[in-house]
Structures are given as structure tokens and as C-alpha cells.
């Protein structure tokens, strides 16, 4: 490293000395680079094969695979720098300065990233469930490390930052297996049943079939009309 700092770029003889001195380190660095890349891919594949049979969430598996891949690459990069005489303390200091700069510049993105990691582990809702976040309501299609994708009833795709999902009140409309069927124009109008967990057959042995319970709930609508809301409890 000191040779590079004191190198005389206009001297042909200095170039020959540089090639002679850096030849072995460059060869070692190239070998370590290929080895690191191969180990990172092997570690990612092995981890994915180990996690897949557990039935873990696809996004959680992807996060784990990428994390182990980047960790192996980071260790390999530090090892390669060591072959050129760069001390570990210098690397740590440089990474700290760069990390602070990136953290300040990408504060919102990092906030959403860590919120996404939390959502993948906590799992307050799952893919396929219908949730509401602020004025947005839709079915969860993906839970990424930065955004959660919702598809609204009118088929509009909404990307909600995970930081917003973590800090706002989230209504999970399919956490319980039930469906509400409000009447319209004096008649019961068919609506899409939203599945969600209900009384078990052991709790209600007198009920059989897919429908466990029908509740008639009084509700008030426009112009003071009193109607009954049909609530269907379903088996999963």
C-alpha cells in the first residue's frame, strides 16, 4: 500500500518493480475472489435448501439467502484487502465513515428496510389477506424488505413503504374467517366472502358443513333505516 502511495507514475523502471512486487498479491487476490464468490453461492444454496422444508415464508427465505451471501462476500473482501497489506482497523474505520454517510443519505429507505425485516419475522399479516393501511385497502400480494404490495378491489397495485405499515394502524380484515353480507335495496346482496378462524366443530357440534354460524346484527344506514347485517362464520 505504501508503494502505491509513493509510486512515481512517470518512471518506467518503477512500473517494472510494481508488477514484480504486486504480481503474487494480485494472483492471490484473484484466487480469493473466485473462491469467495463460489463459497457465497454455495452457502446461499445450502441455506435455502435447509429452510425450504420448514415452510418458511418465501420473502423470509429470500432475506436469509441474501444476508448469508453478502456476509460471505464481505469476509472475502476483507481477506483480499489484507493480501495487499491493508490493516483491518483501516477497513473498519472506512466502513464506519461510509456507513454513517449512507445512513444519513438513505435514512427513509433504511427505515423501510428494517421495518420490512421486522414484518417478515413478526408476520402481523400474510400474503393473500386483506388489510387496510391509512386510506389504502387491498389484498397483500408481496411483503418485501422495503415495500408491501397491495391490490385494491378495483385492481390497482399500491406499494406501501414498510415504515408506514409499521407505524400506522393496520386493519386485518381476514384475520378471522368470517364474511359480512349487508343487504341492498331491501334484499340480501351477494358479496365476496372474505375467509378468516372461527368456532371449531368441537365448540359448535350442532353445526355442520362449511357454515358454522349465521349472526343477524342490527346496523344503521343512511336515512335512519335499520337493517340486519348477515355475518357468516366459516371453517378454514
pLDDT score recorded for residue 42: 92
Tens of pLDDT, residue by residue over 11-65, are 566 555 655 666 677 777 888 888 899 999 999 899 888 888 877 767 677 778 8
What is the three-class DSSP state of 132? strand
In the structure, what pLDDT confidence band is assigned to residue 6 with cuts at 50, 70 and 90? Answer: low
CATH code for 124-172? 2.30.30.60
Tens of pLDDT, residue by residue over 99-115, are 777 767 666 777 777 77
Q: Give yes or no for a contact between 176 and 196, defined as CB atoms under 8 angstroms apart.
A: yes
Provide the greatest CA pair distance for the chain. Answer: 97
Domain boundaries, the chain: 2-105, 124-172, 178-234
pTM of the entire structure? 0.45
In this structure, is the dihedral angle defined by the CA atoms of residues 148, 149, 153 and 156, taken in order, positive or negative?
positive
* Distance from C-alpha of 111 to C-alpha of 18, rounded to nearest angstrom: 45
Please provide the DSSP assignment of 135-149 as one string: TEEEEEEEE-SSEEE
Highest mean pLDDT among 9-13, 120-124, 164-168, 226-230: 164-168
Amino acid at each position: 500500500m505504501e508503494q502505491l502511495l509513493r509510486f512515481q507514475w512517470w518512471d518506467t523502471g518503477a512500473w517494472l518493480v510494481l508488477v514484480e512486487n504486486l504480481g503474487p498479491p494480485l494472483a492471490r487476490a484473484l484466487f480469493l475472489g473466485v473462491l469467495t464468490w463460489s463459497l457465497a453461492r454455495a452457502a446461499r444454496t445450502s441455506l435455502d435448501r435447509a429452510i425450504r422444508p420448514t415452510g418458511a415464508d418465501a420473502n423470509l427465505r429470500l432475506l436469509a439467502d441474501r444476508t448469508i451471501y453478502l456476509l460471505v462476500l464481505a469476509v472475502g473482501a476483507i481477506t483480499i484487502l489484507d493480501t495487499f497489506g491493508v490493516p483491518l482497523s483501516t477497513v473498519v474505520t472506512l466502513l464506519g465513515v461510509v456507513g454513517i454517510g449512507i445512513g444519513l443519505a438513505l435514512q427513509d429507505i433504511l427505515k423501510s428496510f428494517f421495518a420490512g425485516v421486522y414484518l417478515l419475522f413478526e408476520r402481523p399479516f400474510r400474503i393473500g389477506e386483506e388489510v387496510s393501511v391509512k386510506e389504502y385497502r387491498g389484498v397483500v400480494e408481496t411483503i418485501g424488505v422495503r415495500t408491501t404490495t397491495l391490490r385494491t378491489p378495483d385492481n390497482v397495485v399500491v406499494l406501501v413503504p414498510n415504515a408506514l405499515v409499521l407505524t400506522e394502524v393496520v386493519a386485518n380484515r381476514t384475520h378471522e374467517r368470517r364474511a359480512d353480507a349487508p343487504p341492498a335495496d331491501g334484499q340480501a346482496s351477494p358479496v365476496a366472502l372474505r375467509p378468516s378462524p372461527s368456532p371449531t366443530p368441537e365448540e359448535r357440534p350442532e353445526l355442520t358443513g362449511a357454515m358454522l354460524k349465521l349472526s343477524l346484527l342490527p346496523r344503521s344506514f343512511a336515512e335512519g333505516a335499520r337493517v340486519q347485517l348477515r355475518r357468516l362464520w366459516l371453517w378454514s
